[in-house]
């Protein structure tokens, strides 16, 4: 049996950066305590637990941003913004409440937020290709002063009605499916004039998506490691499934089922950008051990 691990599996630069910042501030005496992360720093339960062990709390995102500051009985010292980013209001509110912000927004997300603001200021109609309830997308929408339309699926695209007299800007969630963004852009540019498209899918996502296509074509079974909440991991699985029906989504090695590998000679493994090294290594070890036990491999 042959097992191939994608060369782009696991933490992307943005997640790695956020995780390292949080580890560093936990022991920095100059950082106001207690520290709370707003939402999951990484869409991975094991990583979230590790962060808690550093003495850092977690605040679930609240519908009313003001409620974030009443979430705990303690007065928040420092609030960590995750790599997904947030809208502009949180920075103003934190300042008013005397709470420090440590901003780990991925620079690639910051770029999309800035574009949203620029296009808004220049009176473009903004189309965001992405999941409207995803944290990153909500933040981008707020930077566009909530003046944008979303295209999340083909139905949204079919129902899209833009003002033909206005300029249109297309931006996307950094972890969107490249093929879907191409489809949306093609559709809009065919139908409307004055369309400006900025490719905002990050390179880490592009590489992972290209690589999973190769894995799906050249292996009998594909294992995608990730959390169900992780947009980029789900996308990898969707892409893989389209090419290879024997594509399976797992969170950890315990989710693997022996029957997936009947008559299987080659396994491809990839992992979303929020999957830590130790979980990938665990899965790889487990798959190798299965290979030794099961001679039919």
Range in contact with ligand SF4 (rule: CB under 6 A) among 12-20, 147-155, 176-184, 281-289:
12-20
CB of 186 to ligand SF4, least distance (A): 23
The C-alpha atoms of residue 42 and residue 206 are separated, in whole angstroms, by 19
Q: Which helix (H) or strand (E) holds 190?
A: helix 178-191
The answer to whether residue 136 is catalytic is yes
Q: Which helix (H) or strand (E) holds 238?
A: helix 231-243
6 vs 125 by CB, closer to ligand SF4: 6
The C-alpha atoms of residue 11 and residue 14 are separated, in whole angstroms, by 8
83 vs 151 by CB, closer to ligand SF4: 83
Strand partners, 100: 78
175 vs 177 by CB, closer to ligand SF4: 175
Tokens of 104: 């780990």
Distance from the first to the final alpha carbon of the chain? 5
Positions in 146-185 near ligand SF4 (CB under 6 A) = 174-175
Range in contact with ligand SF4 (rule: CB under 6 A) among 45-53, 67-75, 201-209, 276-284:
201-209
Range in contact with ligand SF4 (rule: CB under 6 A) among 101-109, 122-130, 154-162, 186-194:
101-109
CB of 201 to ligand SF4, least distance (A): 8
Cβ contact 144:57 at 8 Å:
no
CB of 16 to ligand SF4, least distance (A): 8
Cβ contact 80:48 at 8 Å:
no
The C-alpha atoms of residue 271 and residue 249 are separated, in whole angstroms, by 9
Rule CB under 6 A: choose which of 5, 15, 51, 81 binds ligand SF4.
15
Range in contact with ligand SF4 (rule: CB under 6 A) among 10-18, 29-37, 126-134, 182-190:
10-18
Q: Does 204 bind ligand SF4 (CB under 6 A)?
A: yes
Indicate which residue of 2, 16, 52, 136 is catalytic.
136
Label the pairing between strands 168-172 and 125-129.
parallel
Rule CB under 6 A: choose which of 9, 106, 126, 222 binds ligand SF4.
106
Tokens of 270: 């990839």
Beta-carbon contacts of residue 42 (< 8 Å; ≥ 6 apart):
11, 15, 18, 19, 48, 82, 83, 274, 276
Which residues belong to the active site?
136
Rule CB under 6 A: which residues touch ligand SF4? 12-15, 83, 106, 108-109, 174-175, 202, 204-205, 232, 273
């Amino acid at each position: 049996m042959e097992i191939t691990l994608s060369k782009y599996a696991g933490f992307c630069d943005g997640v790695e950066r956020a995780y390292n910042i949080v580890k560093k501030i936990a022991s920095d005496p100059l950082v106001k305590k207690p520290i709370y992360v707003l939402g999951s720093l990484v869409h991975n339960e094991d990583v979230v637990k590790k962060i808690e062990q550093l003495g850092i709390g977690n605040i679930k995102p609240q519908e009313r941003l003001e409620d974030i500051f009443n979430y705990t009985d303690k007065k928040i010292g420092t609030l960590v913004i995750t790599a997904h980013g947030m809208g502009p209001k949180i920075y103003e509110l934190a300042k008013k409440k005397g709470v420090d912000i440590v901003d780990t927004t991925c620079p690639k997300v910051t770029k999309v937020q800035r574009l949203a603001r620029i296009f808004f200021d220049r009176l473009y109609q903004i189309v965001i290709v992405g999941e409207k309830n995803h944290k990153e997308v909500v933040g981008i929408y707020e930077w566009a002063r909530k003046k944008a339309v979303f295209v999340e699926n083909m139905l949204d695209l079919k129902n899209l009605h833009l003002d033909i007299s206005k300029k249109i800007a297309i931006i996307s969630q950094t972890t969107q499916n490249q093929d879907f963004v191409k489809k949306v852009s093609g559709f809009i540019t065919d139908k409307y004039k004055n369309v400006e498209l900025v490719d905002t899918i990050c390179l880490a996502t592009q590489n992972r998506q290209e690589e999973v296509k190769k894995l799906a074509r050249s292996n009998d079974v594909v294992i995608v490691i990730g959390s169900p909440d992780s947009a980029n991991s789900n996308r990898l699985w969707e892409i893989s499934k389209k090419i290879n029906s024997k594509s399976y989504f797992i969170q950890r090695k315990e989710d693997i089922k022996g029957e997936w590998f009947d008559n299987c000679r080659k396994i491809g493994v990839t992992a979303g950008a929020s999957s830590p090294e130790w979980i990938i290594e665990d899965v790889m070890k487990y798959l190798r051990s299965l290979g030794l036990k099961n001679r039919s491999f």
